[in-house]
Amino acid sequence: MDSLIYFDSGNRDETNKDSKENGISQRLVGVPIGHHYLILYSNIEMARKVYSEYTKAQIDLQPQSVIVILPYYDTSDKVREVLESKGVNVKGNEKEGNLIIVDIQKVINNAYYEVSEVERLRAYTRHVEDEHPGKTIFVIADMSTFNHIKKRRELLDYERNLHKDLKVEKWKELCFYHENDFKAMFTEEQANELLEYHKDRVITV
Partner 1 sequence: MDRQNNFPVFIAIVDDEPDLAYLFRDALSQIPGTRVFAFSDPLLALEHIQTNSGNYQCVVSDYRMPFITGIELLEKVKEVDFGIARILISAFEIQDEVFKNSESVDEFLPKPITMANLIDCVKKHVQYKVKEVKELSSE
Residues that bind partner 1 (CB under 8 A): 1-8, 43-44, 72-73, 75, 78, 103, 105, 109, 144, 147-148, 178-181, 183-184
Q: How far is the CB of 105 from partner 1 (least distance, A)?
A: 7
Judged by beta carbon, residue 4 or residue 168, the one nearer partner 1 is 4
Rounded Cα–Cα distance for residues 142 and 6 (Å): 26
Q: How far is the CB of 41 from partner 1 (least distance, A)?
A: 9
Judged by beta carbon, residue 2 or residue 196, the one nearer partner 1 is 2
Amino acid occupying residue 202: V
- Which residues touch 47 (CB under 8 Å, ≥6 apart)? 39, 41, 73, 74, 142, 176, 178, 205
Cα distances (Å, whole numbers) of residue 13 to 52, 108, 179 = 21, 36, 17
Q: How far is the CB of 114 from partner 1 (least distance, A)?
A: 19
Per-residue exposure over 137-160, b if at least 16 CB sit within 10 Å of its own CB, e if not: bbbbbbbbbbbeeebbeebbebbe
Q: How far is the CB of 180 from partner 1 (least distance, A)?
A: 4
Judged by beta carbon, residue 73 or residue 136, the one nearer partner 1 is 73
Judged by beta carbon, residue 89 or residue 105, the one nearer partner 1 is 105
